[in-house]
Amino acid sequence: MTESTTVTPDPATTAGSGRGRSRMPSRAGRRRRAGRIGQVHPLVALLWLAPALALILGVVLYPAIKLFDASRGEYSITGLRKGDAGWTNYTKVLEHPDLGTVLRNTVVWVVAVVAITIVLSLALAQFLSKSFPGRRFVRWAVIIPWAASLVITSQLFVLLYDYNYGIINHVLLSLHLIGQPIDFLGDDSWTMFSMVVVGVFVSLPFTIFVFIAGLGAIPEDVMEAATVDGASPWQRYRNITLPLMRPALMIATVLNVIYVFNSFPIVYTLNDRNPGYLHDTTITFMYKLAFKSQEKDVGMSAAAGIFNVVLILVVVGIYLKIINWREETSR
């Protein structure tokens, strides 16, 4: 697109007398130029890549190796390494009596938070991409939960949910919707719900903005054409908006799954009064194994950490595979 308008004609091709002769040097010249621009000596390339490589090696690879190393060690409760444990840390994690509960919690937590977030964000993004007075203000307001520290947000919700003084119970009681306060964080049937609400609350801003960007990228003329052809608003949304939003949906889903799966502060803060692992996800499970539970075993926790990485990679891999499969079949 830009090439045709801005590239200046090569003097060699325009000013040459013989076509045959002029083309040859021109091709050679282009090849030489391409060689100069596109190819550099491998060592020079390495020099340019060095900062990024150092970062990946130091921040990603080295700790990952250390994590693996720790998962194969036998540790005392004090943190002292007593020797090699082989694979026993892994088997101890797999044989942990609460592992089933923890995995179930993790699935419920990730699926519920991501699904509700995506559905709500689609609606809110639609609303925020229309122009109305005060839109800028509303958009800024949406960012706030994202900008606040997760621990602070979680702690605020602990206060809101409180059994004795929480404002939520206060409002519900004043409206006579309930006769007794609800123990949002201590009652097993409410705890997961209460955590999911906070999870959705903090995931919304990012997702909404991804979708606003996605909506902005949909060409007007396609919409116009559909309207002219007599498509109803729902048909336009179903057959044009959603398919064109696919890249945004995919990115939002993948990033949210990782982000929610790894979310530590919400689950840990809202759940700190509950004994055992009743409402823990694999991330807080890993933390408690290392520092809070009767196991208090760094090696076992590191093994759980390895499982966590593998788990999230597998889940995301499967998701991308499904996306790919749909793409293939829809053609």
| Binding footprint of another protein on the chain (CB under 8 A) | 56, 59-61, 63-64, 66-67, 69-71, 73, 75-81, 163-165, 181, 183, 185-187, 247, 250-251, 254, 258, 262, 272-276, 286, 290-294, 296, 298-299, 301-302, 305-306, 308-309, 312-313, 316, 320, 324, 327
What one-character-per-residue DSSP string does 78-127 give? TS-EEEE-TTHHHHHHHT-TTHHHHHHHHHHHHHHHHHHHHHHHHHHHHH
Return the closest-CA partner of residue 304 out of 269, 277, 265: 277
* Secondary structure percentages of the chain, helix, strand, coil, to 5: 75, 0, 25
Residue with tokens 């083309």: 23
Cβ nearer to another protein, comparing 210 with 306: 306
Nearest distance from residue 286's CB to another protein, in Å? 6
Residue 83 dihedral angles phi and psi, to the nearest 5°: 160, -170
Q: How many CB atoms lie within 10 A of CB 77?
A: 10
Cβ nearer to another protein, comparing 134 with 275: 275
Cβ nearer to another protein, comparing 173 with 226: 173
What are the tokens at 134? 């005060």
Cβ nearer to another protein, comparing 2 with 78: 78
Cβ nearer to another protein, comparing 21 with 82: 82
What one-character-per-residue DSSP string does 287-313 give? HHHHHTSSS--HHHHHHHHHHHHHHHH
Nearest distance from residue 250's CB to another protein, in Å? 7
Cβ nearer to another protein, comparing 102 with 142: 102
Nearest distance from residue 133's CB to another protein, in Å? 37
Nearest distance from residue 183's CB to another protein, in Å? 6
Nearest distance from residue 240's CB to another protein, in Å? 19
Name 75's bridge partners: 81
Nearest distance from residue 74's CB to another protein, in Å? 11
